[in-house]
Amino acid sequence: MIYDDILGATKTTILESLNVQDRSVDDLSNLLGINKTAVKEHLEYLEMRGYVSSYFQSGGAGRPKKYYRLTDKGISLFPKKYIDFAKLLLEEAEKVMGTERMNAILERIASRMISDTGWLAEDLRYKPREEKIKKIQEYVSMLNILGYNATLDIYSDRVIISRHNCIFYDLAKTNNRIICNSLGKDLIVQSLNADFEITEKISNGSSKCVIEVKL
């Protein structure tokens, strides 16, 4: 079940029951067969981590009753098929539109991803060495904003950018040609506009993606 080994069986059961409907402490106590104090402790843990939230609802006579429900973060714990859907969407879109139009769309997607980070691209090919290095350092910071966990090694004639996390990993495994050869390259071309070579790819079995940029 969802994160059973991390959250434990009881918390997982609480989340699964809240996925069906909102419940009170009394409801959960009866459902789980444990006392209300124990239920509250589990709920406090889940609420502190943003998986559940609470609200009061009037039931007529008497005091309003407290209920718990899943947050968006809690809902995200349950299995989703986003990757499978995205894979099928890419394949079908390319069949309908053709590779050329698909690449044009991916180029625009790359442009939007870059602009959303606040990055301002420059042509580095004719920049002095130190200016190139400074701009590439900013580029690596931009990659980390996107979630690439990137590092930079500087040598006399080149720099090596290592992206230790692939933000398109599941898609790239089965759509290497589209994701790595189109979208991945566009992210570099539009950002750096420099002489570069991709020497390693996670999607090809390497532990990281490596980009060598000439200085």
Mark whether 138 and 45 lie in a shared domain. no
* Residue finishing a domain among 21, 40, 75: 75
**Residue 170: its pLDDT value, please?**
85
**Residue 136: its pLDDT value, please?**
92
**Residue 176: its pLDDT value, please?**
81
Give CA 111 to chain center in angstroms. 18
68 forms beta bridges with 23, 54
* Residue finishing a domain among 29, 59, 75: 75
For residue 4, what are its two tokens? 């059973």
Q: Are 191 and 135 in contact (CB under 8 A)?
A: no
Tell me the residue range of the domain where 14 lies.
4-75
Mark whether 63 and 95 lie in a shared domain. no
**Residue 63: its pLDDT value, please?**
86
* Residue finishing a domain among 16, 50, 75: 75
Mark whether 69 and 88 lie in a shared domain. no
For residue 91, what are its two tokens? 């394949």
Mark whether 142 and 66 lie in a shared domain. no
Q: What angle do CA 185, 188, 190 make, to 5 degrees?
A: 105
Counted domains in the chain: 2
Mark whether 60 and 98 lie in a shared domain. no
Mark whether 27 and 127 lie in a shared domain. no
Name 59's Cβ contacts closer than 8 Å, sequence gap at least 6.
Answer: 65
pLDDT below 50 — which residues of the chain? none
**Residue 1: its pLDDT value, please?**
53
Mark whether 58 and 91 lie in a shared domain. no
**Residue 151: its pLDDT value, please?**
97
Question: Taking Cα atoms as reference points, which of 26, 75, 21 lies closest to residue 46?
Answer: 75
Question: Taking the complete model, does pTM exceed 0.85, yes or no?
Answer: no
pLDDT (tens digit per residue) in 88-144: 999 999 999 998 888 888 888 888 888 888 888 888 888 899 999 999 999 999 999
**Residue 4: its pLDDT value, please?**
67
CATH code (residue 57): 1.10.10.10
Distance CA 211, CA 152 (A): 10
**Residue 2: its pLDDT value, please?**
59
**Residue 107: its pLDDT value, please?**
83
| Beta pairing, strands 52-57 & 65-70 | antiparallel
Mark whether 55 and 91 lie in a shared domain. no
Question: Taking Cα atoms as reference points, which of 55, 50, 193 lies closest to residue 119?
Answer: 193
Mark whether 121 and 198 lie in a shared domain. yes
Mark whether 38 and 87 lie in a shared domain. no
Mark whether 15 and 108 lie in a shared domain. no
